Amino acid sequence: MLKKILSPLIAAGFLTACATSPTGRSQLIFLPEAQIDQMGLQAFSDLKKEKPISNNARYNQVAGCIAQAITQPLGGNWEVVVFEDKTPNAFALPGNKIGIHTGMLTLVDTQDQLAAVIGHEIGHVLAKHSNERASQEMAVSQGINMVQAVSQPQTAIGQTAIGLLGVGAQYGILMPYSRTHESEADTIGVDLMAKAGFDPRQSINLWQKMEQASQGQQPLEFMSTHPSHATRIQQLEQRIPQAMGYYQQAQAAGRQPHCIK
């Protein structure tokens, strides 16, 4: 009976939970952002216990330098950790946490290419893609218990809620986003890197390099659900003129990072 009473209220909540992403796209954001952040923090803490952290001073310096340049205008405290893992992967979690594999650092050629990766991942966080994905799942099922479980991540049902958020994949890294989310993160990311003084044209070089690295093999984990290479590059090329405007403004303002790889 309680569920029958609450279901219309939850449904009404869904209808009033509309939000707008940084690109102007309409979103359904239902869950408390503080709880989403807490899940991200917990996942990152677990990841640091389970996965070896790199002691390579150069890798840590480069990753930290680039992340600082991109996040400084955004405010907040962002933690960056380089993990010892040969797979070329990177991720960002709610709660302002960024993880980069050593395999990604060995793949990229320039600071600008790594900035494209970091900008893309930060784009997911800024656009609240984790919350949107979990909210959509809960909206479909009208999972009242799941909504309640968000504040109880240690319970069995709370673990299921975490799985919907995406914190339940390998080592707690977010499960794949939709292609819409990936394309949106590309757009946000290329703007972020340009505003920080990194050359946005290198984002195209990055994805070409990623494509070459995956030839003859299964798609790289980082790209598993991303748009096709041709689609991604075409979309980025369309965005480059605007991003170049941001880049030129950043350069003129003295934002010229030197995070040498």
Q: How many helices (H) and strands (E) does the chain have?
A: 11, 5
The single-letter code of the amino acid at 127 is A
Number of CB atoms found within 10 A of residue 103's CB: 19
Cα–Cα distance measured from residue 60 to residue 79, given in angstroms and rounded to the nearest whole number: 11
- Say if residue 39 is exposed, middle or buried (CB neighbours under 10 Å; 0-12, 13-18, 19+): buried
Of the residues 121, 132, 184, 221, only one is catalytic, namely 121
Cα of 103 vs its chain's centroid, Å: 18
- First-to-last C-alpha distance (Å) of the chain: 61
C-alpha torsion sign, points 209, 85, 167, 30 = negative
Is-catalytic flag, 237?
A: no
Torsion of CA 42, 57, 222, 213, to 10 degrees: -160
Q: How far are the Cα atoms of 25, 120, 145, 224, 229 from residue 123, in angstroms, in the given order? A: 14, 5, 30, 17, 19
Catalytic residues: 121
